């Protein structure tokens, strides 16, 4: 193993925690802003899609923290490639991606996603672990976290804690979309 490969593997060990934190923050922001996301016309404006993305981000965040270095790296590359494609699609179609919040649109997310992909490219771990019992337990724990977070998000009713005027605005936006 060269010094660069050794340094890259160590860098990924720490950088994956940053990526996991970003994913957990994004999932939490989606839960908190669920009303606004569902009332909009973005890529995640359909409840099952939104809940699936929240669960996926949560599962991958957990896996990045507890998972094997190589497999977590590979999952991150695939995930941010998909995120980049979704941001580019949102830009091309003029939609919101609701990636982190409504304040951060796809024109800001695409450079962030591509930057993360570039960093991940340079911090690639060398060793690849074959399928084994600990790897299966890591994947199971990540999926369990996804199911728990998605279930909690599905039962979370932001209407209980929200200002009624917020729903009036959402209702007016829906009427506006139907009239268009």
Whole domain around residue 66: which residue ranges? 23-166
Distance of CA 55 to the CA centre of its chain: 8
Q: What is d(CA 34, CA 68) in angstroms, rounded to the nearest whole number?
A: 32
What percentage of the chain has pLDDT greater than the value 70? Answer: 68
Q: What is the pLDDT of residues 53-73, one digit of tens each?
A: 998 899 899 889 988 888 889
Flag whether 92 is in a domain: yes
Q: What is d(CA 14, CA 88) in angstroms, rounded to the nearest whole number?
A: 28
In the chain, the number of structural domains is 1
Return the closest-CA partner of residue 61 out of 30, 39, 98. 30
Tell me which H or E stretch contains 31: helix 3-32
Predicted pLDDT of residue 130: 63
Predicted pLDDT of residue 40: 83
Flag whether 16 is in a domain: no
Using the structure block, give the residue that is written with the tokens 């005027």.
Answer: 165
């Amino acid at each position: 193993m060269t010094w660069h490969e050794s340094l890259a593997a160590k860098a990924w060990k720490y950088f994956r925690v940053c990526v996991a934190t970003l994913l957990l923050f994004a999932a939490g922001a989606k839960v908190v802003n669920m009303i606004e996301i569902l009332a909009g016309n973005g890529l995640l404006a359909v409840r099952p899609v939104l809940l699936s993305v929240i669960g996926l981000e949560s599962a991958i965040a957990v896996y990045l923290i507890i998972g094997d270095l190589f497999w977590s790296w590979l999952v991150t590359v695939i995930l941010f490639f998909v995120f980049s494609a979704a941001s580019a699609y949102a830009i091309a179609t003029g939609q919101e991606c609701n990636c982190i919040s409504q304040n951060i649109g796809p024109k800001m997310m695409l450079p962030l996603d591509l930057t993360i992909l570039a960093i991940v490219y340079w911090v690639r771990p060398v060793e690849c672990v074959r399928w084994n019992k600990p790897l299966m337990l890591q994947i199971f724990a990540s999926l369990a976290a996804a199911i728990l977070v998605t279930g909690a998000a599905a039962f979370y009713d932001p209407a209980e804690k929200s200002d009624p005027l917020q729903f009036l605005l959402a209702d007016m936006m829906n009427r506006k979309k139907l009239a268009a």
